[in-house]
Structure 1
Amino acid sequence: MIPKFRAWDKEENRMIDDYEVLISSDGCTYYNHYEGGLRDLGFDVEIMQSTGVKDKNGVEIYEGDILKLRAIFLAPDDKIGYIEYSPKYGYSIIFEGNRLYRQEYWASTNKLNYEVIGNIYENPELLEGHEK
């Protein structure tokens, strides 16, 4: 699998899809496709990697995405959480109270029904009561 990235441009307050990360001998330099060419964005971005998993609608799930999750064991209510990566647990859904649901469970079972409903940068209001 070729890693996929996107980035939140802090200066322009916008999401940049299909972000490229190029590593040079002097460290990381970040670039993205911009109007037919490459544009150096410097370090004023938040980079998010794809989890390699798609939601029920076929939308790729990235770090920072907000998911609505309906699972039999969480019934009767839908739960809202966001995707976060940690070296210890990998990609996890973080629910209110910092409860963690690791990718090895949510990405491998057919009893779940999860959907990307936004991301933590463009839609923080979706996490009200579930603050990051």
Structure 2
Amino acid sequence: MIKFRAWHMPFGPKGAMQEMVHGKASRLLAFAEMSPDEYIVEQYTGIKDVNGNYIYEGDVLENPKYRSVVKFGSGSFYADVIGAVNRFPLAGEWQTSVVIGNVHTNPELLEEEK
């Protein structure tokens, strides 16, 4: 099943604001097409984490070995390991990961652990 989520990122009176927008894929894509500077559309990967949560582009995953960000490139989804140059296909051990946040509401998760 193809699913999308979108982040509405308008510029408000106190700076950039953001909110997640849910709805039919056609509606979300239409919003993004009409106002490309205001919407970031992210696709569902087709995989759920160990808790049954859908994994989308932009999600931050954690497993015992790595923390990573889900990205799309070269025709497939992959896990981009934070603090390393490693990329892994989003399969196998990544399905045992947990979604701990996303790049929009939890930017602090993108910092390399010390």
Return the TM-score normalized by structure 1.
0.68
1:54 to 48, 55, 58: 48
2:80 to 57, 82, 94: 94
**1:118 alignment partner AA:** G
Distance 1:48 1:61 in 2: 10
Gap runs ≥5 in structure 1? 23-27, 32-39
Q: CA deviation at 1:56?
A: 0.6
Contact 1:20 1:30 in 2 (8 A): no
Aligned residues: 104
Cα gap change, 1:55 to 1:18, in 2 (>3 Å)? farther
Residue by residue, what CA displacement relative to the aligned partner does 1:52-94 show, whole Å, maximum 9, x if unpaired?
1100110000000000112xxx4xxxx2111000025x11110
The alignment partner of 1:97 has SS state of: coil
1:14 to 7, 11, 19: 19
Matched, 1:42 2:35: yes
The alignment partner of 1:122 has SS state of: coil
Return the TM-score normalized by structure 2.
0.77
Gap runs ≥5 in structure 2? 11-16
Distance 1:121 1:7 in 2: 11
Q: Where is the helix percentage greater, Structure 1 or Structure 2? A: 2
Larger Rg: 1
* Percent of aligned pairs sharing the same letter: 29
Residue by residue, what CA displacement relative to the aligned partner does 1:15-74 show, whole Å, maximum 9, x if unpaired?
12335235xxxxx6227xxxxxxxx9622111000001100110000000000112xxx4
Q: Where is the strand percentage greater, Structure 1 or Structure 2? A: 1
